[in-house]
Amino acid sequence: MAYDYAPFPYVPPTGLTAPEGRHPVVIVGAGPIGLAMAIDLAQHDVKSVVLDDNNVVSVGSRAICWAKRTLEIFDRLGVGERMLEKGVTWKVGRQFHGAKEVYSFDLLPEPGHKYPAFINLQQYYVEQYLVERAQEFPGLIDLRFLNKVTDHTDHGTYVELTVETPDGTYALEADYYIACEGAGSPTRKRMELAFEGQTFEEHFLIVDVEMETSPFGDHDTPERWFWFAPPFHNGQSALLHKQPDNIYRIDLQLGPETDPKEEATEARVIPRIKAIVGDTPFRLDWMSVYKFRCAKLERFVHNRVLFVGDSAHVVSPFGARGGNGGIQDVDNLGWKLASVLQGDAPATLLETYNEERTHGSAENILNSARATNFMTPKSPIEALFRDEVLNLASDHPFARKLINSGRLSNPCSLEGKSLQTPGDAPQHPGWPLMDAPLVGPNGQTWLVAETKGQFTLLGFGQTALPEITGIARLGINGQHDYPCFDDIEGHAAQRYGADHIYLIRPDGHICAAFRSPEPKEIQAAYDRARGINA
Amino acid sequence: MILKDNLGPDGDAFYNALMDAHEGRDESESHALNARLVLMMANQIGDLEVLRSLLEIAAATPQKQD
């Protein structure tokens, strides 16, 4: 059944008739990034206005692969469990050369995590869930559909916007302006900021088909299947994913000499799908032809204008690093902007959003560009090396590791960045929180679910954690006057080492580790993590 | 990275074994064999820094002009 694209209501904004007063935050774009941004800020008690020139969710499935780290962030934002329930869980990827399987990988081989390595879920569902979640904050999130930003000016201490609606144009002012408009970001273009990188010449066809019979054949478990030189398609590569509602994503590489308009037609697409699924009945749900591109802004912070998600950086797909990278931006910026607006941290803390997320996006671009280079050889010699890697892979394990059909999104490490206090522990300062199952007064829970949205000190056993203003405490295998949980299965102690104390940031990254509960050291690390210089 | 002799008395034997491996192959088959060899040898060396130095020196070595 095709998704019902019900439009969101347009309400004429107050600004059309009277000045609105200055808003703390305006978010431009109500895609997954803008919506998640608004929810994150609302959970930190920060009001925002979300403007979108459209009034429906994403047309077409677009971003479908949501990584474990993203689901953990969405858990904090209150939509993780709903996404997990609806999504198709998978963790195994199989790679074929021709008809022959050469290598498979398991992305989450160990138990003891609330969320799986990946789920597949159409972007329209993600946006729908996020809109519905945002509507749970009527006093904090002001969602305005059919509100198109046509101009903005940064006045140094605030930003002024011009917004077009079906009823005319109005002006808005905000302390901070967050651009979450996607790859084509009009804000970026208005500011004439360089968006530099690499465009790949190959065209890819992306098709969603609905069918009752699984194209995975006897394989009941949904997986990620990738073909080099597929037997059913005269091209370099093909990819197959399962989505909810019996929708299957098929990506086919078409080569550089392609007319994108001609290819994105039923007449051309149906025979290509029939070559894969044979006579099995199917319905075309959505299709698009695109080129790969990797590019980023040099800086994501431009005084009062902040860039988040695809408006700051784009990567080629096949690594699930676009949407997942953007959600990590949100996670990184939310608590920092809230701290700055609420006077808990200096405005310079925002500069560390730039530091940490330009690093994260550079890592995503590096990985995506490498995968794309492998998948789309640019010369006969590149094709030769690629083919010989695939040849050797049948018999030799080392070559299987070189096959690159996308290095799937991993959580970004912020180790060595300025907010982290260097330290020696099994989980390094800078790493995102590794999940573990816990048992508490309300039964079974998870570490990622108990350390949400605030600075938290994590300790084990009888070591009493000191009380420090602004820091929550969480004990494992101990009894103290703060929330304590039991590590029945032993995963937490094994992952964290029971003789360490960790300070966790509101975005779930570890920012310091200690051997003993020394309040002065903990306070210093806490200040450092908020950009406060001692 | 080792650029002084490391094969010792086996240099001639290796060189001839390499030529033998290419014997009877046309140019494209030889290229494919070389590609496989490079990949396998890289894995055998297993040290990115050494491999980068080798690539750099090989790439910087001028080609003989006719």
Q: Selecting from 3.30.420.40, 3.40.470.10, 3.40.50.150, 3.30.9.10, what CATH number does the domain A197-293 have?
A: 3.30.9.10
Do residues A423 and A522 make contact, with C-beta atoms less than 8 angstroms apart? no
CA distance A125 to A118: 16
**Which CA distances in Å does A135 have to A121, A143, B43?**
21, 8, 55
Cβ–Cβ gap B39/A384 under 8 Å: no
Q: Which residues of A touch B36 (CB under 8 A)?
A: 388, 391-392
Region B4-25: mean pLDDT is 96
Q: Which residues of B touch A384 (CB under 8 A)?
A: 31-32, 35
Cβ partners under 8 Å of residue A414, min gap 6: A356, A359, A360, A420, A430, A431, A509
Cβ partners under 8 Å of residue A118, min gap 6: A65, A66, A67, A68, A89, A90, A91, A107, A224, A320, A408
Cβ–Cβ gap A402/B39 under 8 Å: yes
pLDDT for the residue A220: 64
**Which CA distances in Å does A511 have to A71, A337, A424?**
21, 18, 12
Q: Do domains A14-89+107-194+294-368 and A197-293 have the same CATH topology?
A: no
pLDDT tens figures, A140-171:
999 999 999 999 999 999 999 999 999 999 99
Query: Of the given ranges (A60-64, A384-388, A419-423), which has the lowest mean pLDDT?
Result: A60-64
Cβ–Cβ gap A385/B39 under 8 Å: yes
pLDDT tens figures, A485-510:
999 999 999 999 989 999 999 999 99
Chain A residue closest to B33 (CA)? A388
In the block, tokens 């789309």 appear at A376
pLDDT tens figures, A396-406:
999 999 999 98
- Nearest CB to A399; choose among B31, B32, B39: B39
Enter the ipTM: 0.94
CA A533 and chain centroid, separation: 31
CATH of domain A14-89+107-194+294-368: 3.50.50.60
Cβ partners under 8 Å of residue A381, min gap 6: B31
Q: Selecting from 3.10.20.30, 3.40.50.720, 3.30.2130.30, 3.40.30.10, what CATH number does the domain A437-529 have?
A: 3.40.30.10
Q: In what order do the strands lie in the sheet with A118-120?
A: A65-67, A118-120, A88-90
pLDDT for the residue A219: 65
pLDDT tens figures, A200-217:
888 899 999 999 988 887
- Nearest CB to A384; choose among B32, B40, B43: B32
3-state secondary structure of A434: coil
Q: Where are the domains of chain A?
A: 14-89+107-194+294-368, 197-293, 437-529
pLDDT tens figures, A173-195:
999 999 999 999 999 999 999 99
Residues of B with CB under 8 A from a CB of A: 31-32, 35-36, 38-40, 43
Strands A88-90 and A159-165: unpaired
Q: Which residues of B touch A402 (CB under 8 A)?
A: 39
CB pairs under 8 A between A and B: 24
Q: Which residues of B touch A391 (CB under 8 A)?
A: 32, 36
Separation in Å, CA of B52 to nearest CA in chain A: 16
CA distance A30 to A8: 11
Closest by CA position to A130, among listed A119, A118, A146, A141? A141
Separation in Å, CA of A421 to nearest CA in chain B: 29
pLDDT tens figures, A6-38:
999 999 999 999 999 999 999 999 999 999 999
Chain B residue closest to A402 (CA)? B39
CA distance A492 to A113: 10
pLDDT tens figures, A109-126:
789 999 999 999 999 999
Q: Which residues of A touch B40 (CB under 8 A)?
A: 392, 396, 398
At residue B66, does pLDDT exceed 80?
A: no
Region B45-60: mean pLDDT is 96
